[in-house]
Amino acid sequence: METTNPEEVHLRHVELDVLIPKMMREKARERCSEQVQAFTHCCKESGFLMVFKCREENAALKDCLIKHYQDPVFFEECKKEYIQEKLEFERTGIPSKQRKQKLPTSM
């Protein structure tokens, strides 16, 4: 069986401009989980006044997310992970979400 070099995989426009950035957003939220939690907590505590009371938490969250969105190394990491998932799907026909689900241990 021939293995494909991830460096040689051609990515479509939608993959580069939509799907990989979507992966980046999801991963950035994980990496900024502290700021996400702080902003969420502030919003829950402030109710309708959150626009005024949570500016600091919102700014910290935005700064963290933007730092990741603009990081070319992070983009390359996500691109490689996307390519690996794509190659695995082409090999198995099973989407990554289904592969990551745990199988029941007993029936």
Condensed to tens digits (0 to 9), the pLDDT of residues 56-74 reads 999 999 999 999 999 999 9
- CA distance linking residue 77 with residue 16, whole number of Å: 13
Burial of 39 (0-12, 13-18, 19+ CB in 10 A): buried
Which residue stretches of the chain have pLDDT < 50?
A: 1-2, 107
- CA distance linking residue 35 with residue 99, whole number of Å: 30
Under DSSP, is residue 86 helix (H, G, I), strand (E, B) or coil? Answer: helix
* DSSP H helices in the chain: 13-14, 20-31, 33-46, 50-53, 55-69, 72-92, 96-100
Kindly report whether the global pTM for this prediction surpasses the value 0.85.
Answer: no
